[in-house]
Amino acid sequence: MKNASIGAFDSGLGGLTVVSQIHNYLPNESIVYFGDTGRVPYGSRSNETIIRYAKQDINFLKSNNVKLIVAACGTVSSVASSAADGLDVPYVEVVTPASKMAAECTKNGKIGVIGTAATIASNSYKNKILSINDAFTVYQYACPLFVPFVESGFVSPDDELVIGIVKRYVEPLIKDGVDTLILGCTHYPILAPAIQKVLGDGVKLINTGEAAAIEIKRILTENDMLADKAGESHFFVSDTTQTFIKTSEVLLGKTLDFDVKKIDIEKY
C-alpha cells in the first residue's frame, strides 16, 4: 500500500489547492483526484444531498484502491462526516487540522471563519475551535460569491471587482478584531492575496489545504505508508474536461501535463 495513491475529492475544483499542498509536503505521493464539476456547488444543497454525493465520491476513489482519502472540500468536511463511516483506509477532512492550526496561531483568541453557506450553518469550525479552547471567540461569515469568482478566474488583488467583493464579505472581520482567519473553503486560498490586502498583514490566514497536507503527512509517516518512489497523479471530473483544464491553471498556477477523464459518478 505504500505506493498506492492518495484519493482526494471536492465538489468542484477548489480541492486542487489541497492537491497542490500535498505535492508540496509529499512530493513522492501520487494522487487520484475527483472533482464533481457536474454537480457543483455543494455548499447551497441540503445536508442529505451533500452526504449522498460524498458517498458516491468516496466510492469512486475506493474503486481506485487508494491508501488514504481526503475530503478536499470544506462543505463535505463540515456536514458529511458520516459519508466516511466504515472506511477501511484513513480519512482526513479539512475542519479539524485547520481548526488546530488556527488555535495554535491566534494571539488574541479571536478567530474568523469564512466558508460556504452550508459550512457556516453547520458551525463545524466554531464547534471544533471551542472544543480546543472555549475561551476563544469565533466569528463566522458565509461568502457565497467567492467560489464562482474563483472558478471564473476573477482572483487578482489588483482587480477592483475582486477587491470590492472581498471587502463586502471580510471587512466585518476587521471590526471583530480577529488576528487569525480560516479560509474555510478550498477555493478561498486562491483569493488569499486579495483577502490579505483587505485585512492587512496583521491577520494570519489559515490555508485548510496546507493544514490537511500536514495531517496527511503525519498519518502516513506514523503508519509507515509514505511512498518510496515518485508516482503519477490522475484527475477525473463529472462534467466537461475542458473547464477543468482552464480552471486548474488558475488554481494550481500552471498547466496540467496529464490527462483529465470524465466519469459517470452516478454509477458509484
| Residues assigned a catalytic role | 73, 185
Task: Give the DSSP letter string of the chain.
Answer: -TTSPEEEEESSSTTHHHHHHHHHH-TT--EEEEE-TTS---TTS-HHHHHHHHHHHHHHHHTTT-SEEEE--HHHHHH-GGGGTT-SS-EE-SHHHHHHHHHHH-SSSEEEEEE-HHHHHHTHHHHHHHHH-TT-EEEEEE-TTHHHHHHTT---TT-HHHHHHHHHHHHHHHHHT-SEEEE-STTGGGGHHHHHHHH-TTSEEEEHHHHHHHHHHHHHHHTT---SS----EEEESS-HHHHHHHHHHHHSS---S-EEE--GGG-
